[in-house]
Copies of this chain bind each other. A is one copy, B any other.
Amino acid sequence: MARQRQERAVRTRDALIQAAAETFDENGFSGAGINRILERAGVTPGAMYFHFKSKEDLARAVIVEQAAALRLPEQPSGIQQLVNLTLYLAGEMQRNVRFRAGVRLAVDQTEGGVQDFTVYEWWGEKFRQELLAARARDELLEDVDEAECARVLVAAYTGTQLMSQLSTGRADLPQQIVAMWRYLLPGIARPRTVSRVTVDAALSVAA
């Protein structure tokens, strides 16, 4: 019985996070009504408050869990893996509603919302690790500052994502990420690395 209760609690929590992600993705934080989320999840207010005290709590859970569900490389390995990672993320933006909702919550400037800089810092650190691996493999130009460059990449990625969403509902996001790399790679990687790296929108489909 205790085990059944526990399983049900896990399912309820997951249904709430899924429903919240779908609603935040469609309406943003301030436009997402708690009632809509509860209806979608098929959960009562009482059952929700056992897991989440507020819409802010739910939004925080979406942000934390979207990252946990991604299939990310275990070890940093340099420029090719960094490129692959940005294309994989472009594909996730197209097909994974929790990831999409987490990004929207981070980008939207909601009043009294949950917005903070943590998500950008987390990705900046991931990118920096790949750049450090690239440095160890002698793939980087001499004067590249790994932390600064990682931040520039996160910023460029964020803006590309936003524009692709507004113009095509993200249909062209992988192609736009390819274009971004076209102009950024020569300022980051050595010419021999630039000529070796594959930047292909098809990489957004496979993982």
Which of A's residues lie within 8 Å of B, judged by CB? 27-28, 30-31, 104, 107-112, 115-117, 120, 141, 144, 148-149, 151-152, 154-163, 165-167, 176, 179-180, 182-188
> A117 CA to B32 CA in the complex, in Å?
23
A166 and B111: CB pair below 8 A?
A: no
Given A183-B149, A187-B184 in contact, is the A109-B111 Cβ separation under 8 Å? no
CA distance A164 to B141 in the complex (A): 25
Enumerate chain B residues within 8 angstroms of A117, measured Cβ to Cβ.
163, 166-167
A187 vs B184: C-alpha distance when bound (angstroms): 6
Residues on B with C-beta less than 8 A from A176 are: 151-152, 155
Across the interface, do A115 and B184 meet the contact criterion of CB distance under 8 Å? no
Q: Which of A107, A120, A141, A156 has the most CB of B within 10 A?
A: A156
- Given the known A-B contacts A149-B183, A179-B151, A187-B187, are A111 and B163 also in contact in the complex, defined by CB atoms under 8 Å? no
